[in-house]
Structure 1
Amino acid sequence: MSAVGYEYLRQQLNLSALELKRPALVKPVTRLTNINDCLSVPKNMAPADGAYLDHVLFALKHEGTNLAVLAQTLPNISAEDLLAELRRSPSGGYIRKAAFLWETFTGKELEGAPVAGGAVIPLFDPTQYYTGPSVRNARWRVDFNGLGSMRYCATVARTPTITQLLESDVLTRAREFMASLPAEMQDRALSWAYLHETQDSFAIEKEAPSEDKAQRFVKLLRQAHERHPLSEEYLVELQNICVTNPLDQAASYRAEQNHLQSGLRGAAGVTYVPPPPDILTDLMADWLAFANSAPTQVDPIIAASIISFGFVFLHPFMDGNGRLSRFLIHHALCSSGKLENGLLLPVSIAMKREEQAYLEALRDFSKPIRERWQVRWLDEMKYDFKFQGDVSIYQFWDATPAVEFVARMADLALEVELRQETLFLQRYDKVLRAVNQRYDVRGSMLSTLVMMCLDNAGKVSKNRRKQFANLVPEAIFDAIEAEAKAVLDEENELREEPGHTPDNT
């Protein structure tokens, strides 16, 4: 099987662009067909060996727009080959795209090119990709409509899963749900959300926050609603809030190479290497340009996903990047104007529950990137890192797995975390009030027992009865269980009523 299009270019030109998830391969078929994990191409449709421009045009026509491959390929194509094709077809959409990208990536002008004709064409097909605002190039009659810029751009495929999740409009549902609650219940639910979002964001990093750390992170989360523009100075300030050890607090972006490590020793334990410090500053400037504009220009979930995952892939600080990347989800959602009055979707709680899926979404990018680095272990704390790739692999990346993951987590944060906690608080209030009217029990003790009962499916366990036997009469345990059963039975009856929806509970 011989490769065609992007995969052919990647192999023949020895590009460092990441492997394609669906390469085009010549197969015994009579027409272009998606089979398993490849685009099957009839032999008679495959461009000739060595005809690099023909493979670029084939890829643009049949495989979409892969800027990482194109950024590394087009400088290898001569101006003469482009001009010859333009003279044959000055209105051709794919050669116009190629010419536009050639000039962009080489910084040169195609002198003597014929005037481009034909309708204006988008660089990214909106039927295949989620796109950003258009910026027209009049010379080639091409609209750049990517999620970012020609210096930093993510792609997000229009998959059925993402489409369904985005159309469900979780941010509107979250606003409507919170608005349906009494003000006092809103406050309690949000207090819970801020606290547990903090605890689980640390838990993802395998840390249990001290009271001081927790307060600092809650403060950070509340800052999301200030919609403060992002800058290096502001990110440093946020990093200092995330990290309590003064020795780990940053004063600027990192000036040394960092990496992520597994439990293995030596180079085998290095699982991801972010961009070298000498290219980091430019990458962060381009990421900032996207992060400050995207939340109000594209779907907020898409913007938040690219901003958060893009940040952690660049890893601009020596510590605190993971927690800060999850804060940036909230910052983006708040900056969109779609979340108001302190509303927070506790996505880190959902991420902790779905930790394996979180790791898989991160590894979709980090694992192949690791292969573009030569890492040599020197001693316990020292490594020699040599980057064997091209900056474009960090500039142009596939954010489809990130968007799908964040969209699912936002939905879980509302439908499971916020709704279930609110339901718990409502049950708690009913049981506490009913028992308190009949018995005189110290408030903190009664509160603890009611919570334990509800957490245990409406039963006060034998161990809890023994633990509190000298403090609480047996009748109170029975009363708590009876009231909890009454509340749960009432909910079950409501669910069985015709026309009931979860919002009616």
Structure 2
Amino acid sequence: MNFVGYAWLRESLKLSVFPLRRPAKVQPVTRIKRIGETLAIPPNTAPLPDDLLGHLLFALKHEGINLAILAQTLPQIPAAALEAELQKAPNGIYIRKACFLREAFTGEDLRQHMPVRGTFVPLFDPQLYVTMPGERNSRWRVEFNGIGTLAYCATVERTPEIVALLEHDILARAQKFIQSLPSEMMDRTINWAYLHETKDSFAIEKESPSEDKARKFIQLLRQAHEGIPLSEDYLVHLQNATISNPFDMAAAFRHSQNHLAGPLQGAAGVTYIPPGPDLCRELMEQLMELGNDAPARIDPLVAAGIISFGFVFIHPFMDGNGRLSRFLIHHTLCRADALENGLLLPVSVAMKREERQYLQTLEQFSRPAREFWDVRWIDHGRFTFEFTGDSTIYRFWDATPGVRFTLEMAKRAIEVELREETVFLENYDRIVHAVNAAYDVRGSDLANLIMMCLTNNGTVSNNRRKQYQYSVPTEVFDYIEEVARSLLDEQQP
């Protein structure tokens, strides 16, 4: 086995962790470098075989922070081994990090031969990860700057894609765009955003909301601007407002195991199993605290991605989790005061258009998590579930894919969805003005025909011509098409 660092720990200790995206392996290279999806390690740099602490310190130095592996590995390393290494390098950065984490994970104090000195070191390298303002541990002079706590923490790597999206300053661009619109156009665009955010959030769940259900959800979206702190009561209220069946309305976070299922029959059809009820409640307490705190301390869209995907992975209700997870994007942005004038980014509209990518992002967590459950079919949708993994797979998770997707959808929401709707409304107004100046047509008929024409690339279909032939003169159909095509041609790139 040529694995090194985290990959060696995972394989040697048979840890319950997800596969590594970039495993470290010994290869015939002269320096540590990334080759494809592998971190290539020179033979003379690799730790000695079976050196548990050596591989852990190597990983901390060269592979960053993987809390799930560290939380399962450090309790297996004898205190004496860590203390001996600490005595050799009492101010060593990586042994200090290891000792800090072992004490946090085990509650067992390690013996220091002399007090640790030197500057504080961040646990997560801010050059490699998105971090929060840290909490300093004076004993080890380590600053915990993770997004969350050592009971629940999401990691977000500063990948080139995420760095570029953050530098794009999406929220500032959204505010600038909305403020550039005339007042009436701004109101119409925002109203469109609320309506279609609602419709598409339900559509992602393969539902079509009734008028009453849509109205309630729009009210919830508008109430997000109140910035109400997350709590169990508030989330239960939100869940009840989005569910029609009274038997599915929750009174609290779930007390039984739930799961997601695909088209296959039996246990093979179970595609994701969230944490059990007790762990669910514990993690929801952590997530709610993070949701109330993080929006003011890190980029609001990063916080929104973490809270949204974190919520759906915990799945605290038996129904309604998907819609609420997307609602939490807006709630988080509003908690950060990032959306003024009632603005809403129609991220669900963008997600619906990129539904396959949305599913792939979810599956980057759900598929490996499914491997740690033993599912047995009883009958007619009844199963037994046995968790064979470790709670750290839910406690310490990689939010990088979810944050990247959230940033991409927010960017699309402003640069595509809102702008396209604004252009649509402007074209609609210009056609109405032109037709009314030349003809006398009933307002409701004209409105329907123009909207149909614009959504049909400037053509009034034969079916629509037949439908309105007794209330609209033939030349009006032709004139609507003429004006619409002229406008659409002007707007071609």
Name the amino acid aligned to 1:72: Q
Tell me the residue number matched to 2:132: 132
Q: Which runs of 5+ in 1 are unaligned?
A: 496-505
Give how far 1:119 is off. Answer: 2.0
Secondary structure, in 3 states, of the residue corresponding to 1:281?
Answer: helix
Tell me the residue number matched to 1:501: none
Q: In structure 1, how many angstroms separate the alpha carbons of the residues matched to 2:29 and 2:380?
A: 54
Q: In structure 1, how many angstroms separate the alpha carbons of the residues matched to 2:217 and 2:15?
A: 42
Q: In structure 1, how many angstroms separate the alpha carbons of the residues matched to 2:304 and 2:261?
A: 26
Tell me the residue number matched to 2:271: 271
The reply on whether 1:393 has 2:388 as its aligned counterpart is no
The answer on whether the counterparts of 1:86 and 1:114 sit within 8 Å (CA) in structure 2 is no
Name the amino acid aligned to 2:92: G
Give how far 1:50 is off. Answer: 2.2
Tell me the residue number matched to 1:500: none
Single out whichever of 325-334 and 144-153 deviates more from structure 2: 144-153
Give how far 1:67 is off. Answer: 0.4
The answer on whether the counterparts of 2:86 and 2:112 sit within 8 Å (CA) in structure 1 is no
Tell me the residue number matched to 1:333: 333
Equivalenced residue count is: 493
Q: In structure 2, how many angstroms separate the alpha carbons of the residues matched to 1:172 and 1:232?
A: 32
Tell me the residue number matched to 2:484: 484
The reply on whether 1:37 has 2:37 as its aligned counterpart is yes
Tell me the residue number matched to 1:153: 153
Q: In structure 1, how many angstroms separate the alpha carbons of the residues matched to 2:417 and 2:490?
A: 22
Tell me the residue number matched to 1:471: 471
Matches within 5 A, 1:12-161: 12-161=12-161
Matches within 5 A, 1:304-453: 304-453=304-453
After superposition, the C-alpha distances for 1:188-222 in whole angstroms (9 at most, x for unaligned) are: 11111111111100110011111121111111111
Q: In structure 1, how many angstroms separate the alpha carbons of the residues matched to 2:120 and 2:233?
A: 40
The answer on whether the counterparts of 1:7 and 1:20 sit within 8 Å (CA) in structure 2 is yes
Secondary structure, in 3 states, of the residue corresponding to 2:397?
Answer: strand
Q: In structure 2, how many angstroms separate the alpha carbons of the residues matched to 1:156 and 1:479?
A: 54
After superposition, the C-alpha distances for 1:240-299 in whole angstroms (9 at most, x for unaligned) are: 011111100000000000000001110000000000112111111111111100111000
Single out whichever of 107-116 and 468-477 deviates more from structure 2: 107-116
Tell me the residue number matched to 2:223: 223
Give how far 1:113 is off. Answer: 4.1
Give how far 1:489 is off. Answer: 4.3
Single out whichever of 176-185 and 453-462 deviates more from structure 2: 453-462
Q: In structure 2, how many angstroms separate the alpha carbons of the residues matched to 1:364 and 1:17?
A: 13
Give how far 1:112 is off. Answer: 4.1
After superposition, the C-alpha distances for 1:395-452 in whole angstroms (9 at most, x for unaligned) are: 1111110011000000111111101001100000010011012211110001111111
TM-score (norm 1): 0.96
Q: CA RMSD of the aligned region, Å? A: 1.1
Describe the shift of the 1:439–1:144 C-alpha distance in structure 2 as closer, same or farther (beyond 3 A).
same
Describe the shift of the 1:23–1:489 C-alpha distance in structure 2 as closer, same or farther (beyond 3 A).
closer
Q: In structure 1, how many angstroms separate the alpha carbons of the residues matched to 2:187 and 2:58?
A: 57
Q: In structure 2, how many angstroms separate the alpha carbons of the residues matched to 1:159 and 1:482?
A: 48
Describe the shift of the 1:70–1:429 C-alpha distance in structure 2 as closer, same or farther (beyond 3 A).
same
Give how far 1:470 is off. Answer: 2.2
Identity of aligned residues (%): 60
After superposition, the C-alpha distances for 1:342-375 in whole angstroms (9 at most, x for unaligned) are: 1000000000000000001101111000001111
Secondary structure, in 3 states, of the residue corresponding to 1:129?
Answer: coil
Tell me the residue number matched to 2:5: 5
Q: In structure 2, how many angstroms separate the alpha carbons of the residues matched to 1:18 and 1:388?
A: 13
Name the amino acid aligned to 1:384: T
Give how far 1:482 is off. Answer: 2.2
Q: In structure 2, how many angstroms separate the alpha carbons of the residues matched to 1:468 and 1:480?
A: 13
Secondary structure, in 3 states, of the residue corresponding to 1:74?
Answer: helix
Name the amino acid aligned to 2:336: S
Give how far 1:36 is off. Answer: 1.2
After superposition, the C-alpha distances for 1:307-350 in whole angstroms (9 at most, x for unaligned) are: 00000000000000000000000000111111012100000000
Describe the shift of the 1:490–1:112 C-alpha distance in structure 2 as closer, same or farther (beyond 3 A).
closer
Give how far 1:114 is off. Answer: 2.6
Tell me the residue number matched to 2:186: 186
Secondary structure, in 3 states, of the residue corresponding to 2:185?
Answer: helix
The answer on whether the counterparts of 1:224 and 1:331 sit within 8 Å (CA) in structure 2 is yes
After superposition, the C-alpha distances for 1:34-92 in whole angstroms (9 at most, x for unaligned) are: 11111111222221222111111000000001001000000000110000000000010
After superposition, the C-alpha distances for 1:6-32 in whole angstroms (9 at most, x for unaligned) are: 111111111101111101111122221
Q: In structure 2, how many angstroms separate the alpha carbons of the residues matched to 1:252 and 1:488?
A: 52
Give how far 1:490 is off. Answer: 4.3
Single out whichever of 53-62 and 273-282 deviates more from structure 2: 273-282
Q: Which runs of 5+ in 2 are unaligned?
A: none
Q: In structure 2, how many angstroms separate the alpha carbons of the residues matched to 1:32 and 1:176?
A: 45
Tell me the residue number matched to 1:499: none
Q: In structure 1, how many angstroms separate the alpha carbons of the residues matched to 2:117 and 2:344?
A: 49
Matches within 5 A, 1:178-217: 178-217=178-217
Give how far 1:475 is off. Answer: 1.1
Name the amino acid aligned to 2:303: A
Single out whichever of 465-474 and 9-18 deviates more from structure 2: 465-474
Q: In structure 1, how many angstroms separate the alpha carbons of the residues matched to 2:89 and 2:114?
A: 10
TM-score (norm 2): 0.98
Q: In structure 1, how many angstroms separate the alpha carbons of the residues matched to 2:324 and 2:406?
A: 15
Tell me the residue number matched to 2:244: 244
Name the amino acid aligned to 1:478: D
Secondary structure, in 3 states, of the residue corresponding to 1:15?
Answer: coil
Single out whichever of 110-119 and 244-253 deviates more from structure 2: 110-119
Name the amino acid aligned to 1:135: E
Secondary structure, in 3 states, of the residue corresponding to 1:44?
Answer: coil
Name the amino acid aligned to 1:402: G
After superposition, the C-alpha distances for 1:98-143 in whole angstroms (9 at most, x for unaligned) are: 0000100001111344311222111001111111111111010111
